[in-house]
Amino acid sequence: MSWFKSSASRNAAASHAAANGSVRSVNYSTSPLLAAKTPPGRSKFIVALVGLGFAILIGRALYVQVFGQAFFLKQGEIRYARTLELTASRGRILDRNGLILAASVPAPSLWAIPKDFEADDAQLASLAKLLSMTPAELKTRLADNPNFVWLRRQVDDQVAKQALALDIKGLHQVREYKRKYPEGEAAMHVVGFTSVENHGQEGLELAYDKDLVGRNGQRRVIKDRLGRVVDDIGESIPAADGHDVELSIDSKVQFFAYQRIRDAVNENKAKAGSVVVLDAQSGEVLALANYPSYAPGDRNLQDGRMRNRALTDTFEPGSTVKPFIAGWALETGRVTPDTVIHTAPGRVQMGGFTISDSHPHGDLTVTQVIQKSSNIGAMRMGLMFQPREMWELYAQAGFGQKPQVDFPGAVTGRLRPWKTWRPVEQATMSYGYGLSASLFQIAHAYTVFAHDGVVIPATLKKAGPNDPPPQGIRILSPKTAQTIRKMLQLVCAPGGTAPKAQTMGYSVGGKSGTAYKQEGKGYAVKKYRAWFVGMSPIDHPRIIVAVMVDEPTAGKWYGGDVAAPVFSDLVQQTLRTMGVQPDLDFKTQIVAHDVPAEEESF
């Protein structure tokens, strides 16, 4: 109660003083708080803290402005500057006439930022349908990375337009380059293909990748928060497009070769087939076709269709090597074209192995041995040589040697060292068993006959107008090569093994071949390879054509019946395309397609 009265008295006094307009001033200098002295250690500590703070700030400022300047400038630039890649256009692949076999065209690619992606069920279903996937697959892809995922690369322009028209947040488009192959499956084994990153994967796309790929450029830009380019930084590095590659391939010859081998494989119910067409004067490859082939969009084929069989598959060349044996026997003076060779009774036992002809021929001249394809006749000539002599003949012709051609996967074949040969092996190698070669190697080896005794290099690139003529290896004299060509011409005449190789308007010569297919350590009794290799016109050859049909099963299997008709059609079409004048009179020429062929020994 006393406290209440005291408070009331004080309040009344204050009210009275305020009413009178006067307040007594307070003397702060006499305040007991100020009169108390601060301990010296505390004041020094406070000053030290303040000084330390200033030192830290000054040090930090020095670090940011001087020592760490580059780092902080870079970090700042990361937040607003971007490097845009300027994609180089891959070079074109052209045929010998400048027609396009492979070219790059702009193509949109769709990508997304999943953390920004917003789409209702209808939009998601529509987008998935455009991208050829299910909504579940699309959701799975979007879950891969929150910042960036490819949805579909190198789509059609119409697909990209429809996708962007859905107005889905987080969906974006970028322009890339897509490879186009106008000749389709007819030239795929030659040209090959690229990956989505535009790097060569197969064929000449891979072989000439360094020339074709070019060099990408760069452009430094400033982007705003919406991702729009607002300014350039520094100098841009322009993209350097890849170089064009001009091939020796003639797209017209290539297309016809593909069509014809495709028809032959289907007609004979065969497993596969290959064709090689060479320019006999320059060694340029005019066509290299295989069937079955594959479409440009196929990438994951597991049935062997991507394999360029003409260059990667090897087989025993069989009777196609007999002209080499006869040629060397002539060259060394061991025989003449009219030398008689005894082949009766058509069977010879040697080293526990039976060497036989398809039927007894009796006595044959060297010319007839080639015309009728006698195994025993070729064997008797082959055994005239020393093993090393035969090995060097085959090796110089290119057998057992890696083809010097710019193509990935080209095989070497097999030619065992001569020191390991037994007499029976030398005998069988005289008619093409015991060694192996690709169809390309056989076609290349025949340049020795077409080019007057010289094996010239083969090439897949077009020769320039100022390029020197090809320099090869001389194996035979021009006279011997010409003599062999006359023998090969008789092979395609009545009485030979391949009259179906004759061509209207052009003289031809060549050699058929038929061989059992190897299976394991032996041979399959009812599986064959049939082939024919020859040249035209016979006096001054312009082209060499080699044809192989693998496992014909339609009732015919001899090279003269299966492969020779393909050769005939290709010779006529190719020489006309090249503008070569016919060397035979159409009115007097008799095309012997219906003349029975001599049954070939194999």
Q: Which residues are catalytic?
A: 319
- Neighbouring CB atoms inside 10 A of 394's CB total 23
> Euclidean distance between the first and final Cα of the chain, in Å?
141
Report d(CA 574, CA 254) in Å as an integer: 9
- Judge whether 362 and 380 are in contact, CB under 8 Å: no
Report d(CA 97, CA 419) in Å as an integer: 48
Residue 314: closest CA among 405, 411, 403, 404:
411
- The packing angle between helices 564-577 and 251-267, to 10°, is 160
- Judge whether 270 and 262 are in contact, CB under 8 Å: no
Exposed e or buried b per residue across 25-54, where buried means at least 16 C-beta atoms within 10 angstroms of its C-beta? eeeeeeeeeeeeeeeeeeeeeeeeeeeeee
Q: Where are the alpha helices (DSSP H) in 351-420?
A: 366-372, 375-382, 387-397
**In which element (H, E) is residue 56 found?**
helix 40-62
Report d(CA 248, CA 462) in Å as an integer: 4
- Neighbouring CB atoms inside 10 A of 366's CB total 24
The alpha carbon of 476 is separated from its chain's Cα centroid by a whole number of angstroms, namely 36
What is the side-by-side order of every strand in the sheet holding 543-550? Answer: 285-291, 272-279, 543-550, 522-536, 509-519
CA distances to 70, 121, 130, 450 from 165, rounded to whole Å, are 44, 16, 12, 63
Q: What residues have CB less than 8 Å from 91, skipping those under 6 apart? A: 211, 212, 213, 214, 241, 242, 243, 244, 245
Q: What residues have CB less than 8 Å from 145, skipping those under 6 apart? A: 114
**SS3 state of residue 217:** strand
35, 39, 43, 45: CA torsion to nearest 10: -160
Tally of helices (H runs) and strands (E runs) in the chain: 22, 19
Residue 565: closest CA among 598, 535, 531, 601:
531
